[in-house]
């Protein structure tokens, strides 16, 4: 979605001292949050554990590094090609619940999308590293849909993104135009080394249906 593209107007937004403080707070809180709030693998949801089992059993990732996005708990789990967990962290997601990407007219400004269309679609995606319009390194999940995994960036203070990311509940983690947003430290130490060097696979789990039922239906 458009949050993956830094518009010139957004680049002119002043990064105030308050924003810097909040962003630094979210970065420093991420490792502690992973320990204290349950963003460790043993506390992963049943859906995440089921998805990992199916991926590894079927070798669906073809030996590529991969990630599982659990929208229900607003968590990202990153694995290497051997299926070993490299790290897990809270994420920000699309504002609107839903598993299907809302179609948009070609050339449209996705910043003008109504809130109900700002979803993080579920599915299996082939990811690849890239850069946005400002030259920032990101991981494209779906280039055509402008969907990516990227670092937390300064935005309007009213969006409270750093606080949302650092909160102990997933209830307030929906705020983006669809992209999966992580703390800068997690991006630099886990996402970039694992998914930022070549192709990967990103599994975004559905939130409105049973993962097991969807898997059974597909077979």
The distance between the two most distant Cα atoms of the chain, rounded to a whole number of Å, is: 53
pTM value is: 0.76
> In this predicted model, what pLDDT tens digit does every residue of 103-146 receive, in sequence order?
554 444 455 565 667 889 999 999 999 998 889 999 999 998 88
187-206 burial, b at 16+ Cβ within 10 Å, e below that, comes to bebbbbebbbeeebbbbbbb
The neighbouring-strand residues paired with 76 are 69, 89
- pLDDT of 58-97, one tens digit each? 999 999 999 999 999 999 999 999 999 999 999 999 998 8
**36, two tokens:** 């204290």
Q: Given this model, what pLDDT does residue 144 score?
A: 87
Indicate the DSSP class of residue 141: E
| d(C-alpha 119, C-alpha 122), whole Å | 9
The residues pairing with 5 across neighbouring beta strands, listed in sequence order, are none
What is the band of 184 on the pLDDT scale with cuts at 50, 70, 90? very high
Q: What is the pLDDT of residues 23-68, one digit of tens each?
A: 333 333 334 333 433 345 667 898 999 999 999 999 999 999 999 9
Q: Which CATH class is domain 2-218?
A: mainly beta
Domain ranges of the chain: 2-218
Only one residue has tokens 């430290």, namely: 185
């Amino acid at each position: 979605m458009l949050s993956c593209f830094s518009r010139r107007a957004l680049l002119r937004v002043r990064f105030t001292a308050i924003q810097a403080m909040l962003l630094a707070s979210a970065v420093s809180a991420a490792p502690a949050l992973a320990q204290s709030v349950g963003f460790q693998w043993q506390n992963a949801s049943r859906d995440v554990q089921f998805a990992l089992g199916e991926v590894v059993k079927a070798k669906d990732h073809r030996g590529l590094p991969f990630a599982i996005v659990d929208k229900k708990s607003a968590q990202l789990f990153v694995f290497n090609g051997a299926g070993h967990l490299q790290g897990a962290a809270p994420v920000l997601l699309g504002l609107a619940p839903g598993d299907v990407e809302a179609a948009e007219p070609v050339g449209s400004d996705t910043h003008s999308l109504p809130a109900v269309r700002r979803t993080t679609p579920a599915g299996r995606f082939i990811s690849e590293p890239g850069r946005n319009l400002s030259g920032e390194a990101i991981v494209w999940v779906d280039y055509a849909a402008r969907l990516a995994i990227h670092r937390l960036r300064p935005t309007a203070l009213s969006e409270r993104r750093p606080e949302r990311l650092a909160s102990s509940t997933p209830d307030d983690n929906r705020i983006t135009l669809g992209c999966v947003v992580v703390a800068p430290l997690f991006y630099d130490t886990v996402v970039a080394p694992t998914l930022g060097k070549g192709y990967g696979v990103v599994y975004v789990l559905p939130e409105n249906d049973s993962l097991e039922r969807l898997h059974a239906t597909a077979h």
